[in-house]
């Protein structure tokens, strides 16, 4: 058996051995992984960063809150940092790997109980290791007419892990944190906090009411390292009587601004209540072609070439895919409103399109993205724009210019909310090509700097870029996070570097 490498920063071999023995006592030796071969899947990242900067030193897999508390006691005793994951499939943002080398991954996949589903209220209480697929099977076996809102990698991933990253899906419940209700959090000192109404003895309303009494703190445990979330409530959507998925198409590349301005009133009025996506042709092509079929020249795919290839296959430069939900009568009325709002602004509408994720069906269709050039590299660039055509056009021009200069294909899938847009751009690349990987990294860093210089922030980022993104969001916010960190985790054992926060 090879020696565990690397070690946690500042921890010697002998002390680390003692910590591993302590973890074994806490969770059972079989649930502590430290052999290099066992650690491999936990250090596998898709980002344009060196593998060695994100290799864990070990993995510990507790099965209960009590075991988490015992693991924390060992971590505090030997100053071993713990990087918590629920299912660890944060693909394109770091997967299960820690922000810095040598942290011990605290893998919560063994905590996978569905603790409660209230079919009347449409709520569930789950543990971190529960996957969307597991929860969907649970509902279907019991004929409970509630829908889940899946992110694209739905079958594989955890509602809890996804929500803590403030991830999203496509139905009206697509903002996952907005539909989270009540958490149980194990703090670094081992104490257990229940947020919202979870602190009331024999609580009746923990999953029904989000805020509780006094400060509302749930947000502090998202994209942070202030605690280990061991349970979370989520709201589930009553199955609608009917739905209709619609594809609105704009046939000129220059139509982007007016498309956004035409969609906004429909989102603000909630005529369109779901989190539809406005995508460009290149992103859509990843589901039907390989890159080499589209373009075999040098550098990034020219937009004109991508658009021409797409048009020959019946796809326009811009597609907005969304759904209407309700009774058949409501859907007919809403369809008329949508037509009236979009058609005068250049859209052609295709009604009754099939998209599994918008109708409570799991699908891994989005993973075709990774076949684009088969290189295994993926890094999400996720800036936020106000929901205005001028801003989205400005972001698009900025991103295209920077990506072109680095030979990176421009793709985007924008989540259109009422007032803002998450302009999620995947940088897809060949990770086994060192030159290409270095270019993508430089491209990503320039994108961050330039977007911030134009007044845009970011909805989420991957390990390796967290310090930089925190810095770009301003000193006061970061200082505030550090003060909380010092109070809650003075030894800094929880996920140092998450969102740039470390003692």
Reference 321, options 346, 354, 361; nearest CA is 354
Shortest spacing between CB 355 and ligand FAD, in angstroms: 12
Phi-psi region of 464 (alpha: psi -120 to 50; beta: other; left: phi over 0): left
**Residue 173 annotated as catalytic:** no
- 441 flagged as catalytic: no
Among positions 354-393, residues that touch ligand FAD (CB under 6 A) are: 366-367, 369, 378
What is the rounded CA–CA span in Å between residue 99 and residue 49? 11
Chosen residue from 162, 382, 423, 461 binding ligand FAD by CB under 6 A: 162
Q: What secondary structure, in 3-state letters, does 138-167 show?
A: HHHHCCCCEECCCCCCHHHCCHHHHHHCCC
The verdict on 239 binding ligand FAD (CB under 6 A) reads: no
Please, how many CA atoms are within 13 Å of residue 379, restricted to the half-sphere of its CB? 28
Annotated active-site residue in 93, 132, 173, 325: 93
Two structure tokens written together for 319 = 């597609």
Does the footprint of ligand FAD cover residue 128 (CB under 6 A)?
yes
Residue ranges in 479-498 that form contacts with ligand FAD under rule CB under 6 A: 495, 498
**Bond prior to 6 in cis (omega within 30° of 0):** yes
Determine which residue in the list 22, 43, 81, 161 makes contact with ligand FAD, applying CB under 6 A: 161
Q: What's the chain's Rg over C-alpha atoms? A: 23
Residue 89 as a binder of ligand FAD (CB under 6 A): the answer is yes
460 part of the active site? yes
Q: Decide: 123 and 233 in contact? Cβ < 8 Å.
A: yes
Contact 11, 80 (CB under 8 A): yes
Residue 86 binds ligand FAD, judged by CB under 6 A? yes
Among the listed residues 132, 320, 325, 459, the single catalytic one is 459
Distance in Å, CB of 425 to ligand FAD, minimum: 12
Q: Which of 91, 320, 325, 444 binds ligand FAD (CB under 6 A)?
A: 91
Would you say how long the chain is, in residues? 503
Catalytic one among 210, 431, 460, 502? Answer: 460
Q: Which of 172, 164, 168, 148 is nearest to 218 (CA)?
A: 164
Q: Does 245 bind ligand FAD (CB under 6 A)?
A: no
Contact call for residue 152 and ligand FAD (CB under 6 A): yes
The interface region with ligand FAD, picked from 52-60, 84-92, 194-202, 297-305 by CB under 6 A, is 84-92
Q: Specify the residue for token string 């693991």.
A: 71
Phi and psi at residue 424, to the nearest 5°: -85, 115
Is residue 276 within the footprint of ligand FAD (CB under 6 A)?
Answer: no
Residues known to be catalytic: 93, 459-460
* Contact positions vs ligand FAD (CB under 6 A): 84-92, 108, 128, 151-153, 157-158, 160-162, 164-165, 167-168, 228-229, 366-367, 369, 378, 495, 498
């Amino acid at each position: 058996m090879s020696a565990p490498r690397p070690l946690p920063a500042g921890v010697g071999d002998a002390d680390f051995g003692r910590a591993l023995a302590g973890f074994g006592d806490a969770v059972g030796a079989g649930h502590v992984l430290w052999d290099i071969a066992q650690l491999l899947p936990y250090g596998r990242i898709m980002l344009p960063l060196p593998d060695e900067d994100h290799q864990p030193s070990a993995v510990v897999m507790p099965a209960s809150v009590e075991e988490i508390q015992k693991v924390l006691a060992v971590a505090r005793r030997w100053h071993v940092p713990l990087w918590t994951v629920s299912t660890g499939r944060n693909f394109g943002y770091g997967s299960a790997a820690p922000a810095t080398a040598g942290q011990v991954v605290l893998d919560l996949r063994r905590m996978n109980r569905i603790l409660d589903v209230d079919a009347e209220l449409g709520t569930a209480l789950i543990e971190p290791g529960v996957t969307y697929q597991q929860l969907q099977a649970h509902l279907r076996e019991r004929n409970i007419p509630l829908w889940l809102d899946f992110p694209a990698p739905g079958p594989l991933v955890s509602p809890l892990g996804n929500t803590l990253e403030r991830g999203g899906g496509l139905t009206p419940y697509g903002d996952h944190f907005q539909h989270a209700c009540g958490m149980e959090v194990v703090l670094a000192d081992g104490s257990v906090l229940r947020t919202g109404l979870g602190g009331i003895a024999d609580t009746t309303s923990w999953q029904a009411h989000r805020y509780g009494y006094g400060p509302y703190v749930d947000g502090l445990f998202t994209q942070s390292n202030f605690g280990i979330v061991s349970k979370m409530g989520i709201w589930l959507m009553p199955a609608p009587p009917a739905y209709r998925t619609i594809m609105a198409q704009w046939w000129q590349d220059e139509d982007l601004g007016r498309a956004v301005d035409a969609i906004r009133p429909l989102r603000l009025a909630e005529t369109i209540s779901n989190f539809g996506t406005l995508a460009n042709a290149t992103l859509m092509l990843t589901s039907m072609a390989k890159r080499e079929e589209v373009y075999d020249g040098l550098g990034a795919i020219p937009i004109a070439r991508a658009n021409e290839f797409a048009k020959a296959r019946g796809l326009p430069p811009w597609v907005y895919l969304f759904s209407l939900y309700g009774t058949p009568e409501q859907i007919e009325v809403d369809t008329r409103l949508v037509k009236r709002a979009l058609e005068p602004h250049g859209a052609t509408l295709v009604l009754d399109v099939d998209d599994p994720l918008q109708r409570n069906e799991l699908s891994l269709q989005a993973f075709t993205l990774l076949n684009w050039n088969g290189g295994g590299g993926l890094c999400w660039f996720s800036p936020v724009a106000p929901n205005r055509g001028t801003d989205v056009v400005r972001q698009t021009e900025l991103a295209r210019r920077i990506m072109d200069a680095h030979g990176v294909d421009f793709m985007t899938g924008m989540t259109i909310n009422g007032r803002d847009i998450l302009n999620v751009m995947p940088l897809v690349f060949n990770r086994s090509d060192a030159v290409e990987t270095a270019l993508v990294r430089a491209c990503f860093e320039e994108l961050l700097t330039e977007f911030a210089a134009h007044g845009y922030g970011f909805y989420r980022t991957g390990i390796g870029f967290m310090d930089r993104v925190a810095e770009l969001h301003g000193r006061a916010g970061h200082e505030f996070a550090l003060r909380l960190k010092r109070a809650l985790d003075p030894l800094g054992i929880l996920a140092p570097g998450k969102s740039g926060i470390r003692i």
